[in-house]
Amino acid sequence: MKPGPFDYAAPTSLREALRLLSDTERDVKVLAGGQSLIPMLNMRLARPELVVDITRVAELGRMSVDADGALHIGAAVRQAAAAADPAVRGGWPLLAAAIEQIGHPQIRNRGTVCGSLVHHDPAAELPAVAVALDARFTVTGPGGTRTVPAEDFFLSTFAADVEPDELLTEVVFPASPGTGWSFLELVQRRGDFAGVGVAVLVRRSGDAVGEARIVFCGVGSTPVRTPEAEQALVGRALDPVAVEAAVLAVRGAVDPPGDVHASAQWRREGAEVLLRRALNQAWENCA
Ligand SMILES: Cc1cc2nc3c(=O)[nH]c(=O)nc-3n(C[C@H](O)[C@H](O)[C@H](O)COP(=O)(O)OP(=O)(O)OC[C@H]3O[C@@H](n4cnc5c(N)ncnc54)[C@H](O)[C@@H]3O)c2cc1C
């Protein structure tokens, strides 16, 4: 299929991009990597009158680590570039591992980290990782810049806290709260969206778990963090008894939907299987 007609603009400054987005006369859409927007245009699920390509805005293409050790990823940074970056691989291996499970290389070469977060497919890997890593979102619009914590950013299926005249200009990942990590997902075929996935972070305190983060994707309309399961682990060694206590807590906390891709039962059982594997993996690679 072909998209409906639209005007195209490729600004080279953030100011110009924001000016174009503030056009209240027309339906305007941001184009980042185009890996979700272009299919939506082709299927005519979106029919904007103006498409604003942000990939030529140099200041949005930057990735850096600040003095506090936080990682900043600009809106035009491609998923593949982030996953290949030595600073990301060393300091945020959970993020790199999750990106590598997004679609196929062609998708990751074009798709952006921020585009995936704004698009917010509930089966996508990165929203769950953003919640696990306590990411902060920098959103810029006509009223200035605001910062949104990850737990407030994802509103519901395909909806995030970014207005049509705003841009997610960057996502900031603080230094990782865990040292052991794992991202696992169940897919029908390699490269598919996750039927269910889990991001796990574990920090050791002596022989016991000092802190744990467990966040699922694919089991709700937003990423689902399970504090009950995290608390079931804290203060004890991560042995099979502790793992089963966490699994039991997840059984009570997760109520996934069924749809054409997978039944609710498949997702529920998948979440438990993944959690067992991910906890063991995270504990093994805990420093
Ligand atoms: C075959 C295929 C397989 C895929 N598999 C997966 C997968 O397994 N897991 C997964 O997570 N994703 C998958 N994707 C989607 C891919 O990750 C997309 O790249 C991502 O969802 C959107 O990022 P993008 O940069 O391409 O954004 P675009 O497609 O350009 O934009 C997506 C939406 O976000 C808005 N937007 C983008 N950036 C901004 C911004 N900075 N500020 C405000 N609004 C913005 C756009 O207006 C649009 O509404 C797949 C895509 C394809 C085609």
Q: What is the CA(79)–ligand 1 centre distance, in A?
A: 10
| 149 pLDDT above the threshold of 90 | yes
Q: What is the CA(37)–ligand 1 centre distance, in A?
A: 7
Q: Under DSSP, is residue 163 helix (H, G, I), strand (E, B) or coil?
A: coil
Q: At which of 116, 148, 175 does a domain end? A: 175
pLDDT tens column, 75-130: 999 999 999 999 999 999 999 999 999 999 999 999 999 999 999 999 999 999 99
HEC letters along 202-232: EEEECCEEEEEEEEEECCCCCCEECHHHHHH
Q: Which residue's alpha carbon is at the smallest distance from atom 36 of ligand 1?
A: 115
List C-alpha distances in Å: 183 to 45, 95, 102, 177: 31, 9, 12, 15
Mean predicted lDDT score pLDDT of the chain: 96
Q: At which of 121, 148, 175 does a domain end? A: 175
Ligand 1 pocket, Cβ-based, cut-off 6 angstroms: 29-37, 39, 75, 102-103, 107, 111-112, 114-116, 118-119, 121, 124-126, 162, 167-168, 193
**Same domain (yes/no): 119, 3:** yes
**Same domain (yes/no): 99, 49:** yes
- What's the pTM? 0.96
pLDDT tens column, 208-254: 999 999 999 999 999 999 999 999 999 999 999 999 999 999 998 99
Q: What is the CA(21)–ligand 1 centre distance, in A?
A: 18
| Domain count along the chain | 2
- Residue-range definition of the domain harbouring residue 206: 180-284
**Same domain (yes/no): 240, 139:** no
**Same domain (yes/no): 230, 200:** yes
Q: Which residue's alpha carbon is at the smallest distance from atom 19 of ligand 1?
A: 111
Q: At which of 175, 206, 232 does a domain end? A: 175
φ, ψ dihedrals at 247, nearest 5°: -60, -40
pLDDT tens column, 164-178: 999 999 999 999 766
**Same domain (yes/no): 160, 219:** no
CATH code, domain with 204: 3.30.390.50
Question: Per-residue confidence at 193, pLDDT binned at 50, 70, 90?
Answer: confident
Contacts for 240 with CB less than 8 Å, ≥ 6 apart: none
**Same domain (yes/no): 184, 169:** no
| 131 pLDDT above the threshold of 70 | yes
